[in-house]
Structure 1
């Protein structure tokens, strides 16, 4: 291992661990700083599309292993009563995915990081960072206990409220989407084990298998920021009263303590540059987007393997850090910005649409061939990792 290949990753979530694994495989000495006292993820599901699966394979993760969920596919979109808007037939190609429990995905990445001797430091909340300069000063990162670490590469993977981004780039600032999201996983087998989405005025509900006997559901609704609710399950049940009966049945079957909710923040426009000095940004720290394309986790995994393939491996082979960071920015920023724009467009015609235009939207979409969904998805889901150096 070369003396100039020490990386610090700020954030021990999925983007941070993916980056750590990719850099460690490239021969870097890696330390992960995680603000939480214990590493872990929430009880929620992920619809991991083909691009996310490709990134996991490149990271060396056995995606077909049972702990990485179950194979499934997009089953289409329905209105609030359960009437089809844009159903997707079984034989439509390109819409396969894997239903994954977020905590299990995180656990697998963590196990890989530890097997590669990545140092994990918990309770390490980042309070300050200095970007340094490629070919010059190292990057510096300081945690709440006063410890300052230096690094040849600092990975900003500390989420939408990234302290590293704020320190080295200033913006953009997180914005509230106007929507909050309930999420839960329960022990239940779906009768039709596919990703099914329901659209109504200013709301969306989805269900999906994330294990042989596990179902994930979410409810994404317009709500004032910071709303306090004593009984989240009851509130979700009330909000979706009168929707398709299977939605109410799944909510009723969910243990109250399993229902989580968070306000959805995003970064309008994303960072202007994903690399500043010796800092490279990944995941929500770089491009937190609306969840309406289901690409948050997949693009975080893409970022992680690209940090390894576009930065870590070339530097290990003798390339200049400045050149590799410029290439990472040039490849990742346009793609993620385009996906974020698509997510906003999807929101405008989907879950963010008000009651007046529901019928018009539904009528137009019912005339759309389901095969068009596959063709439209290829630009996003057909991504492949850059080749190894």
Structure 2
């Protein structure tokens, strides 16, 4: 039986491990932390990622445990709607809505599907030999027919495979995330200000996931990130002030946003493949970071499964062909939207808002059309 070594137990790594095991591979998952500890934040799963999860038999459970994004859209800080979304129109066009759930919920759904004994915690990877399929850890050497590197935005494996390639660049915004209690079932919305964004995502169980960005230099931190959010967004439209007031100060997370502006020439070398943020770090503006990691995992596993059936090595060049062009387009589009949110000068913001109003006035089908190549993409080449 073929053996895959998966580096990292985030969403990309866990999805890869589960999908590979379903295709007949034995898997070893190496996680440097002492436990799988998902970041306390929400997650949007778009129709393309739901279809990918369907191929693994997980999609319906995700739908069951999620909230539907529902009607919402983009607003101004005073509450005026710039564009609106329509759930029925989205379902008619794509077959599914965007669903919202805790990141921890998806991690748990994946983790319970790992084969017994597959997960190895406190395993720090010290080096990777992509040609030999060899991984050296703090507890010894492991060899595999396939190495799947899901080691995140600062991937050491990526640097090994492509030495000298430009690293992810600061996208110009810092971000905050917090999950807290909700009231009156707020609509999903994203509010754009002058160089600032505040998003509201209702979750199942009466919780709400809030996220925000601001255009500032990298590396800045506040003594109280909750107070910083209140300073920036406390006078914006309801329910933002109430949601911030109810937030637990200790639950507010802050991270600077980075994007791989120079795409990799391939997502593989030798026996090693990159997935998720290790392959294509992107800004969160399209909500496709986790979705594309899930797609990566399913496409890679399908190629690996075909190799097992044929008794051949995995065609990782086919994986790269299937994934590089698609993810490059999504990274660039997400980065372009991020740049729009960074505009701070009054005239530029007015032009941007007028553009959003004009697109919204043309109807939801026109607005959705720009997402067709993202949401309609098959989860894997054979589907």
TM range (shorter): over 0.9
Give the corresponding residue for 1:130.
129
Alpha-carbon separation, structure 2, partners of 1:228 and 1:8: 37
Distance 1:339 1:66, change over 3 A: closer
Which aligned pairs between 1:264-303 and structure 2 lie closer than 5 A? 264-303=257-296
State the Cα deviation string for residues 217-271 of structure 1 (Å, max 9, x = none): 0011122222122211111110113322321111111111121111112211332
State the Cα deviation string for residues 133-165 of structure 1 (Å, max 9, x = none): xxxxx311112x252211110001000111111
Alpha-carbon separation, structure 1, partners of 2:24 and 2:51: 21
1:338 to 313, 323, 329: 329
Alpha-carbon separation, structure 1, partners of 2:256 and 2:124: 22
Alpha-carbon separation, structure 2, partners of 1:167 and 1:285: 12
Gaps of 5+ in 2: none
1:109 aligns with 2:103: no
* TM-aligned CA deviation for residue 72 of structure 1: 2.3
Distance 1:161 1:204, change over 3 A: same
Which aligned pairs between 1:315-326 and structure 2 lie closer than 5 A? 315-318=307-310, 320-321=312-313, 324-326=315-317
| C-alpha contact 1:44 1:216 (8 A) present in aligned 2 | yes
1:237 aligns with 2:234: no
When the two structures are superposed, what TM-score results if normalisation uses the length of structure 2?
Answer: 0.92
* TM-aligned CA deviation for residue 303 of structure 1: 0.7
Give the corresponding residue for 2:154.
161
1:152 aligns with 2:153: no
Alpha-carbon separation, structure 2, partners of 1:365 and 1:31: 47
Give the corresponding residue for 2:374.
380
State the Cα deviation string for residues 323-358 of structure 1 (Å, max 9, x = none): x21111001111000101110121222x12222311
| C-alpha contact 2:178 2:209 (8 A) present in aligned 1 | yes
Alpha-carbon separation, structure 1, partners of 2:313 and 2:162: 19
Give the corresponding residue for 2:356.
365
| C-alpha contact 1:32 1:118 (8 A) present in aligned 2 | no
When the two structures are superposed, what TM-score results if normalisation uses the length of structure 1?
Answer: 0.91
* TM-aligned CA deviation for residue 54 of structure 1: 0.9
1:314 aligns with 2:313: no
Further displaced range: 89-98 or 375-384: 89-98
Gaps of 5+ in 1: 133-137
Alpha-carbon separation, structure 2, partners of 1:344 and 1:65: 28
* TM-aligned CA deviation for residue 362 of structure 1: 0.9
Alpha-carbon separation, structure 2, partners of 1:55 and 1:118: 25
Which aligned pairs between 1:251-270 and structure 2 lie closer than 5 A? 251-270=244-263
SS of residue paired to 1:348? helix
Give the corresponding residue for 1:329.
320
1:353 aligns with 2:347: no
SS of residue paired to 2:60? coil
RMSD: 1.9
1:142 aligns with 2:136: yes
1:11 aligns with 2:8: yes
Alpha-carbon separation, structure 2, partners of 1:119 and 1:89: 42
| C-alpha contact 2:186 2:239 (8 A) present in aligned 1 | no
Give the corresponding residue for 1:135.
none
State the Cα deviation string for residues 144-196 of structure 1 (Å, max 9, x = none): x2522111100010001111111222233122222111101112245344x21
Number of paired residues?
A: 374
Further displaced range: 25-34 or 378-387: 378-387
Alpha-carbon separation, structure 2, partners of 1:219 and 1:65: 25
2:176 to 150, 162, 182: 182
1:173 aligns with 2:174: no
| C-alpha contact 1:181 1:220 (8 A) present in aligned 2 | yes
| C-alpha contact 1:7 1:155 (8 A) present in aligned 2 | yes
| C-alpha contact 1:67 1:104 (8 A) present in aligned 2 | no
